[in-house]
Structure 1
Amino acid sequence: MEDKEPDTVIRLENVTLILDGHKILDSVSMSFWEGHIHAVVGPNGAGKSTLAHTIMGLPDYLGHTGAIFHRGERIEKLPIDKRARRGITLAWQEPARFQGIGVDSFIRSAAEAKGSSVDSGEMLKLVGLDPDRYLVRNVDKTLSGGERKRIELASIVAMRPDVVLMDEPDSGVDIEAINYIFDVLEKLRNWGSTVILITHSPEVLKRADHSFLLCNGQVVDKGRVERMSGYFTGHCVPCVHKNNPFCDEVTP
């Protein structure tokens, strides 16, 4: 019996984005599958974060050509709030601070936006934070960047999102925290969420099922994680990117 092809949740067709006269994304076509963790790797300035911002529909990234589909429906004209209502969410590399908003309210409001309710304490436990210590705190400058990242992830889990875009999930967190983040990634995948990781980390890449190599705003390679891991050891495809790690062969 043949394996069933995974359902495509997000698809980009020939997406090109020019910002300040520079072509940041260049005819990008990609498919992201349901219940899979995808990684997007590549040098600094390759367009990885821009890709995530474009899929999310941030205001400065709406002026692109090409099409973006979510479960077969075109969404490139939709603003960020309508994409969020469809279950698409973005975890920032540097999570925002919300002066005066409590951690408990922050997590519960994420679930309520999807028409459900959650136990905020249980969500914090999933990311390795003690509810007794953190539920009474605010999402503000008194929290470290790593703490805010974990609380943001707890709020994302509370939403049971359809698509999660994560920009450098291991940035600013310690080894203990990243292990909790990895556990949450597994839970999201098991729930059927589509996870898209923007990463520079070979350890994060290992958690993915499938990967893309982006360079100069173009998809220059894609495939199994083992194939793309060669990028981190200097075996990526030839390219003229200013941050090219001086490699000259394609990973077998």
Structure 2
Amino acid sequence: MLEVKGIKLVRDEREILNTLTATFESGRVYAILGNNGVGKSTLSYVLMGLESHRDYEGNVVFDGEEIDLLSVSERARKGITLGWQEPVRFQGLTVKEYLTLGGKLKLSKEELNETLSVVGLNNEYLDRFVDESLSGGERKRVELASIILISPKVTILDEPDSGIDIMSMEMIERVLERLSDKGSIVIIITHREEIARMADEAFLLCGGRILASGEPEEIVNFYRKLCDNCQHINEPITEGGQIDD
């Protein structure tokens, strides 16, 4: 189980995360839904323990242990992984080397090929380089394949559809199913209703606070009603004014 307890993060006198509390359980997919600038990616960086985002108040608890003082690499060793919105480029590294962590993961050709097929790629990609020779969408697919292969305990996906054609929503759903079937806690950071609907549970985030949580379809409807045409990013409001805590 992963828990965030009263997380508060302030930047330039603005509360990016405002006493945010939530619980995530193994084998389930969660969507963090909200407009740009409401604190979604900030939450993912806090969970991953990025050096630039460790000056928060509150606690991140994983398997009963407070991990607030742990670095990115220490959290990674505990099984927490972040899939970036923009996948990094690796000069001189082949897809096969990337997927096997430079040979540290002993994977058969069958395992590699099957995992590539989940993300819509074929075995011809294994000898290609993870650099500018791949499109952004292809690099995103390779990154998703690598996450499947390492089987993390917690998978945080920041805008998993970034750079991927809308026709590939089915592929993203396959990835989410594969990860949750392996017992991973999957947290999707998104502003896309189609992605949020793939989750088991959704949270609507605004102004660093959770406005609502529950069944994805209910949260998507709430988001469409209150957030689609809303221009503010600082304080959550309802049609009648500021929302009550």
TM-score by length of 2: 0.89
Are residue 234 (structure 1) and residue 225 (structure 2) matched?
A: yes
Distance change in 2, residues 1:243/1:28 (3 Å):
closer
Distance change in 2, residues 1:148/1:50 (3 Å):
same
1:194-209 equivalence runs, <5 A: 194-209=185-200
Over 6 Å off, 4+ runs: 243-246
Secondary structure of 1:76's aligned partner: coil
Structure-2 separation of matches of 1:120 and 1:94 = 23
1:49 paired residue number: 41
Greater CA drift, 102-111 or 68-77:
102-111
* Cα drift, residue 30 of structure 1: 0.7
* Cα drift, residue 50 of structure 1: 0.3
Secondary structure of 2:199's aligned partner: coil
Q: Give deviations 1:184-233, integer Å, cap 9, x for gaps.
A: 11111111111001111111111001011111111121111122011342
Aligned length: 238
Are residue 193 (structure 1) and residue 195 (structure 2) matched?
A: no
- The answer on whether the counterparts of 1:111 and 1:159 sit within 8 Å (CA) in structure 2 is no
Q: Residue type of the partner of 2:5?
A: E
Distance change in 2, residues 1:55/1:116 (3 Å):
farther
- The answer on whether the counterparts of 2:207 and 2:235 sit within 8 Å (CA) in structure 1 is no
Are residue 31 (structure 1) and residue 23 (structure 2) matched?
A: yes
Identity %: 42
Specify which of 130, 136, 143 is matched with residue 139 of structure 1. Answer: 130
Structure-2 separation of matches of 1:166 and 1:127 = 15
Are residue 167 (structure 1) and residue 158 (structure 2) matched?
A: yes
Structure-1 separation of matches of 2:234 and 2:54 = 27
Structure-1 separation of matches of 2:148 and 2:103 = 9
1:1-252 equivalence runs, <5 A: 9-109=1-101, 112=104, 117=107, 119-132=111-124, 134-235=125-226, 241-242=232-233, 248=239
Structure-1 separation of matches of 2:186 and 2:204 = 16
* Cα drift, residue 243 of structure 1: 8.1
Q: Residue type of the partner of 2:80?
A: I
Greater CA drift, 136-145 or 227-236:
227-236
Unaligned runs of 5+ in 2: none
CA RMSD of aligned residues (A): 2.4
Greater CA drift, 201-210 or 223-232:
223-232
Q: Residue type of the partner of 2:183?
A: G
Unaligned runs of 5+ in 1: 1-8
* Cα drift, residue 14 of structure 1: 0.7
Q: Residue type of the partner of 1:190?
A: D
Structure-2 separation of matches of 1:106 and 1:163 = 20
Q: Residue type of the partner of 2:191?
A: H
Greater CA drift, 194-203 or 115-124:
115-124
- The answer on whether the counterparts of 1:14 and 1:27 sit within 8 Å (CA) in structure 2 is yes
Identify which of structures 1 and 2 has the higher relative contact order when contacts are C-alpha pairs closer than 8 Å and 6+ apart: 2
- The answer on whether the counterparts of 1:55 and 1:68 sit within 8 Å (CA) in structure 2 is yes
